[in-house]
A and B are shown apart, each in its own frame.
Chain A
Amino acid sequence: MTYTHFKFEVDADGIALITFDSPNVSMNVLSNAVMAEMGDMVEKIAADDAIKGAVITSGKKAFCAGADLSELGGGMGALAGKSEEEAKEALFEVAYRLNQSLRALETCGKPIAAAINGLALGGGFEVTLACHYRVMATDTGAKLGLPESLVGVLPGGGGTQRLPRLVGVMNAAPIMLQGKQFDAETAKAQGVVHEIAPASEIVAKAKELVKADPMGAKQPWDQDKFKLPGGGPYHPAGMQVFMGASPMLLKETYGNYPAQRYILSCVYEGLQVPMDAALRIESRYFTKLLMRPESRNMIRSLFLSKQALEKGARRPAGQTKGEIKKIAVIGAGFMGAGVATVSAQAGIEVVLIDVNQEGADKGKAHVAAHFAKGVKRGKLTQEAADAKTNLVTATTDYSMLKDVDLVVEAVFENSELKHKITKAAEEHLPADAIFGSNTSTIPITSLAKASSRPENFIGIHFFSPVEKMMLVELIVGEKTGDKAISLALDFVGKIKKTPIVVADTRGFYANRCVMRYIEQGMYMLTEGVKPALIENGARMAGMPVGPLSLQDEVAIDLGYKVLQQTKADLGEAAVAGPNATVIEKMYDLGRYGRKNQKGFYVYSDSGKQLWDELDQFAPNGKLLDEQPSVDEIKDRILYAQAIEAARTMEENIVADPREADVGSILAWGFAPYTGGVLSFIDTIGAKAFVARADELKGKYGEPFNVPELLRDMAAKGETFYKRFNPEKAAA
C-alpha cells in the first residue's frame, strides 16, 4: 500500500523509516486521514516478520504541530440532531480512536522510535510519547509541548497519561496545564527523550535504539516493575503534589477553565489504573470537554478566528498583500518607543522622531534596553540585538520621512498638536505613504481633516505596553481608503500582532467597552457593594484585574481628564452618573491611582490593599446590609461589556463578530473562557441574554439597556455568528 501522508521505506536491517510528510501543506497535522494511514502502518509493522521495528520522523521542518483543530470543530457539527447520550457516544468514539491507534503503536510488539527533527506539539508530541524511544534534534530549534489547554482542550492522545508516567506529575504539570514548551536539552534532562543529537544524526541514532531495543519493545508503564516517578495520588510524596495542584490551579483559573481541571482529573484518575483504562478515562474527559461551550468558544476565538484575522481576513477586496520595509514613528514617548521596538523586532527600519534629539534618543534607549533584556535572557545574541537596535534612527529631522512606507504618530492626545504633526509629516512623506495615528480617543475623521490626503489617513491604535499587548485596533475614518487599510494590515502582520478593523467612533471599540467595565465598578461602589466583593467578583468572572484596580492602573487623573474632555465635547449630561461622581471626588482628594501610591487601593512595598475609606461612596456612607451574590456581580460585569459590544455591532463600528471576540480578549482581557464578548452572548442565547439584561436594567439602570439588534436576534433565535456570518461556513 502507498500512503498519502507518509513515506514508508524498510532498510536492509528490516527497520521501517516512516516519514510524515503531508502533501501541499507546510505543516504536518494529525487528521482522521493521517491516523487511518498510521493505523494501517502499525498493522503492517506488527504482521510483517521482515520488519523488525520502525523509526518515525518528519519530512518537514517541524515534526508535527498537533491535531487538526478545524476538523475538531467540524466534528461537532456532525452531532446536530443527536440526543445528548448519542452525541456523547459518537464523540467518545472519535476521541478514543486516536488513543486506540497510539496504544496499538506502543503495543505492536516491535520497537518504535521517534526521530524528532523539529517542533512536536500537542498530538505531534503525543505520537512520539507512544513510541518506545525518542531522539531529538538539538540544532533545529525543535521544541516539545502540549499547548492544548491554552485553547481550551486537553491532550487527548494519551498525553495526560504518558507524560506523567514518564517524568512524574510535578514535572508534567506545567507542560500540560500551562502549555510550557521545552527544548532538546531540557527534554533530555527531564527524561522525556532518550537521546539528543544534531538533526542529521537523529534517524541513525533512532535506528540504533530500535536495534538495541533495551526495553524489549515495551513502554516503561507496560513493564512488570513499573514505578511512577514521584508517586501517584496516594503515595506520600505524590499526595502532596495533588493536594497542592488543585488550589494552585483554582487560584489562577477561578474554576473557569474546564480544560485544566479535566487534565488534573485525567491525571488523578488515570494514574490509579493501567494504561488501557487510563486512556479511556482521558478520552471520556476529552469528550466531556468538547461538549462544553468553553472549549468550542476558545478554539474558535483563540485559534481559528485569531489566525484568520492575522492572515488578513479583513483585507478589503481588490487589495493584495504588500510589504512594509521602513516606517517612521513620531513621538518617542512610552508608546512611540514601544512601536519602534516591535517594528525593529520584526526587521522594519524605523525613523524615530521627537521634538528634540534628547527625546528621540531616550526613545531609542528604550528600544536598546528591550533587546538587551533579550540578550540577558539568552533569547538573542548581542549581534542580533545590536542589528535590531540599529534599525532605529533617532532624529528630529522630518526630511527623513522621504522614503517611509508608513508613519505611526504617537504624540500626546491633543488634536491641535496632532494636526500640526500631520501637516509637518506630509510635507516630506512619499505620496503613497500611509499616515497612522495612534490615538486612543480622538475620532480619526476629525484628525484626518489636517491631512491633504485623508484617504491615506488611518487610526493605528496600540495598547500599552506595546511589546506585550497583542492587539492593534485599526480605525477607518470617513475618508480612509482601502489601500491604507491593506497596508496597515501588512504592518500589523509584520510585527506579528492581531489586527481588528473598526469604524470611527469615540473610544473606538475596545475603550468603549472597557469603559463600561470600569463604570460598573463605580456604580457598585455608589450602591454600597463591598469593594472587596466588586474586585473579587470581577476576577471570578474571568477579568484579569478588578475594575477599581484597573482604574488605578489607568490612572484616576487621566480618567478625570477624559471626563472633562467629554464634558466639553458633549455636555455635562453625557457623563453625569456614578462614574463622574466617584472619579471627580477621587481626583479632588488627590488619589490618582498607582502612580501616586493611592487610589482605590493603597500601595506599599508589601503590596496593595483596598483603601479603607471607600465606604464614603455608598449611600449615606454605609455599605449594603445585604450584599449581592457574587453571581450577580459577575453578571453585571460581563453583561455591561457584552451589551456595549453588541451596540458596536449594531452601529457597524465592528463588522465581524470574530473581531469583537478576539479583540475583547486580546485588548482588555475579557474573560477568555467565554471566547469573547459576543460568544458570551451567543452561548447564553440572545433570548435568555436579553431577558437577564432587562432584569439587570430594572435593578441597575441604563448600562443594561440592550440595543434593538439583540432584541431582533432574540426574536429570530439568531446568534452573532449566524447573523453576521463571517465565513460561509461559520466555524
Chain B
Amino acid sequence: MTEAYIYDATRTPRGKGKKNGSLHEITALQLATQQLEAIRDRNNLDTSFVDDVVLGCVSPVGEQGADIARAAALNAGYAETASGFQVNRFCASGLEATNLAAAKVMSGEADLAIGGGVEAMSRVPMGSDGGAMAVDPEMAFDHYFVPQGVSADLIASKYGYSRDDVDAYAVESQRRAGQAWKEGRFKNSVVPVKNQLGLTQLDHDEIMRPETDMQSLASLKPSFEALSAMVGLDRVAIQKYPDIEKINFVHHAGNSSGIVDGAAAILIGSKEMGEKLGLKPRARIKAMASIGSEPTIMLTGPAPSARKALKKAGMSPDDIDLYEMNEAFASVVLRFMEDLGVDHSKTNVNGGAIAMGHPLGATGAMILGTVLDELERTGKGTGLATLCVGGGMGTATIIERV
C-alpha cells in the first residue's frame, strides 16, 4: 500500500460565530477558497496534480450546500481537473475529509489530494440542514436521542466530573491557548482571512479569554438545564442510563466549545508525488479509524476510535507523544483521558476549542495541523488527533513525523 504524507497544513483564524464576528461578513466559499489558495501558494503547487479536494462541512445547505469543495476549488483557480466533494461526519468532518484524502492516496486512486473543512457558523447556523436524527420521532423513541450538551452532562454525571472539574479544565484550556498565541506557536498554520478588498480581516482567534478563572466561570448558568426541564431531555437520557438518579448539569458557555467561523486545509500526497513536486513531507499518516459508539451518551467515541487506530498502527497509548482531543465539552476530554489513560500534560497542550472555538466542519483538520506544528516545535515524533461525533461516533488519526 502506498504511504500517505502530509506536506502542508493551514487554517484560518477562528472568528466569533455571531453577527458581530469578524468573519460574519466573509462567505463560507471565501473561507474555503483562501485556504486552498494558501496551500497552493505556500507550496508553489501546480494544481493540475491535485486529484481531489475533500472538505468537511456539517451544515451543507445554503451557501455551504451543493458541494462547496468543488465550488471552492474552482473559485481558488485550481485546475478544472481537480475534483471536489464534501463530507459530513459532524464534528469530525474535517478529520474524516483528511482521512479520505489520505485513503485515496493510500489506495492509489489519487497521488495528491487536499483534505480540510469549512464552517461559517455565523452565516449558516447549526441545524440549518435539519436532519431526521433530532426531528423524526422514530429516532427519539427507539434511540433515546438527546442533544449533545445533555450527553456531555450525562458523561459528567456518569463518571462523576463535578462543576469544579470541568471548569478547571476550561480555565487551563484558556491559559494554554493564551500562552500558545503569545509564543506564536500557531504562526506556521494560521493564514489570515482577507476581505473583499484583499485586506486582512482577521489574523487571530477571536473568542479567547485567557484571563478566565474559576470565579468568572462560576457565575455562568448551565446551558442545558432549562431546556431539559422544559422538554424532559434529562429524563430521556436517564431512560437509557437508569442507574443515574439525576443529571448533573455542569456545562455552560465557558466550558464548552465556542461557536466560530473557520476553514482548514491539509495537503496530502504520496512520496513519489512529493518528490516530483519538490515538496518536503512533514509527517506520515500512520493509522486512521472511525467507530460508532452508544448514541445517547454520544460523545464517548474518541477513546475507542483512538484505540482502534492505535491497534492498526501496532501502538499503545503511551507510544503517542501528543494528543489533540477536540474540546467539544470539558467532560468529553476528561472522559477521554481517563478512558485511554492519557495524561493532561500531553493532551491539548496548546488549548483547544473551549478557548479558540470549534468551526464544526473544519476543526478536525485544524487540530491535526495543530498537533503536527507542536510535534515539530518540540521535536517529538507521534501525534494522535481525535474528535467526538454526534450520533455516537469517533474518528482518530495518528501521524508520525518524518
Contact = CB atoms under 8 A, between A and B. Distances in A.
Contacts of B230: 244
10 contacts: A234-B130, A247-B140, A247-B232, A248-B232, A250-B144, A251-B235, A251-B236, A264-B137, A265-B136, A627-B243
Contacts of A255: 141, 239
A609 B137 contact: no
A531 B244 CA distance: 9
A532 B244 contact: yes
Contacts of B139: 246
Interface string A538-550: 0010000000000
* For the complex of A and B, 3 pairs with smallest distance between CB atoms: A251-B232, A246-B140, A536-B242
A176 to B, nearest CB: 13
Interface in A223-273: 233-234, 239, 242-252, 254-255, 261, 264-265, 268
Nearest to B234: A251
Contacts of A245: 137
Given A243-B134, A247-B140, A248-B232, 5 more contacts: A254-B239, A265-B138, A531-B245, A532-B243, A536-B239
Given A247-B233, A250-B144, A234 B135 contact: yes
A501 to B, nearest CB: 38
B127 interface: yes
Contact of A247 (B231, B242, B245, B246): B231
A610 B138 CA distance: 32
A530 interface: yes
B264 interface: no
B137 A248 contact: no
Nearest to A252: B232
A609 B244 CA distance: 12
Contacts of A261: 137, 141
A442 interface: no
A265 B142 CA distance: 12
B146 interface: yes
Contact of A248 (B130, B231, B238, B246): B231
Contact of B140 (A250, A531, A535, A536): A250
Contacts of A234: 130, 135
A118 interface: no
A250 B242 contact: no
A244 B246 contact: no
Nearest to A633: B242
B137 A536 contact: no
Contacts of A251: 231-232, 235-236
A630 interface: yes
Most A Cβ at <10 Å: residue of B146, B239, B243, B244: B243
Most B Cβ at <10 Å: residue of A234, A247, A249, A532: A247
A713 interface: no
Interface in B107-160: 127, 130, 134-141, 144-146
A244 B141 contact: no
B226 to A, nearest CB: 12
Nearest to B139: A246
Interface string A512-554: 0000000000000000001111011100100000000000000
B135 A242 contact: yes
A248 B234 CA distance: 10
Contacts of B137: 242, 245-246, 249, 261, 264-265, 268
Nearest to A538: B242
B236 A268 contact: no
Most A Cβ at <10 Å: residue of B135, B145, B232: B135
A250 B236 contact: yes
Interface in A591-646: 609-610, 627, 630, 633
Contacts of B244: 532, 536
Nearest to A241: B135
Contacts of A537: 242
B135 A630 contact: no
A615 to B, nearest CB: 13
B234 to A, nearest CB: 9
B84 to A, nearest CB: 27
Contacts of A249: 137
A289 to B, nearest CB: 14
A429 B127 CA distance: 74
A234 B244 CA distance: 33
A346 to B, nearest CB: 37
Contacts of B245: 531-532, 535-536, 609-610
Nearest to B142: A255
Given A261-B137, A268-B135, A244 B231 contact: yes
B246 A609 contact: yes
Contacts of A264: 137
A239 B239 contact: no
A250 B231 CA distance: 9
A702 B141 CA distance: 35
Contacts of A533: 242-243
Contacts of A532: 242-245
Nearest to A246: B140
A255 B245 CA distance: 19
Interface string B197-239: 0000000000000000000000000000000001111011011
Contacts of B127: 239
Contacts of A244: 230-231
Nearest to A251: B232
Contacts of B136: 233, 265, 268
Contacts of B235: 247, 250-251
A250 B235 CA distance: 8
B135 A243 contact: yes
Given A239-B130, A247-B233, A261-B141, A540 B135 contact: no
Contacts of B135: 233-234, 239, 242-243, 268
Nearest to B240: A630
A589 to B, nearest CB: 21
A536 B234 CA distance: 13
Contacts of A633: 242
A249 to B, nearest CB: 8
A540 B242 contact: yes
A533 B245 CA distance: 8
Contact of B238 (A239, A531, A536): A536
Contacts of B242: 532-533, 536-537, 540, 630, 633
Nearest to A634: B242
A264 B243 CA distance: 28
A650 B227 CA distance: 50
A72 to B, nearest CB: 24
Interface string B242-280: 111110000000000000000000000000000000000
Interface in A528-584: 530-533, 535-537, 540
Nearest to B238: A536
Contacts of A627: 243
B295 to A, nearest CB: 14
Nearest to B233: A247
Most B Cβ at <10 Å: residue of A535, A536, A537, A609: A536
Interface in A45-69: none
Nearest to A536: B242
B34 to A, nearest CB: 30
Interface in A441-461: none
A204 B316 CA distance: 84
Contacts of B243: 530, 532-533, 536, 627
A542 to B, nearest CB: 12
Contacts of A250: 140-141, 144, 232, 235-236, 239
Contacts of B246: 609
A247 B141 CA distance: 8
A533 B139 CA distance: 24
Most A Cβ at <10 Å: residue of B130, B137, B230: B137
A97 to B, nearest CB: 26
A537 B236 CA distance: 13
A415 to B, nearest CB: 41
Most A Cβ at <10 Å: residue of B139, B141, B230: B141
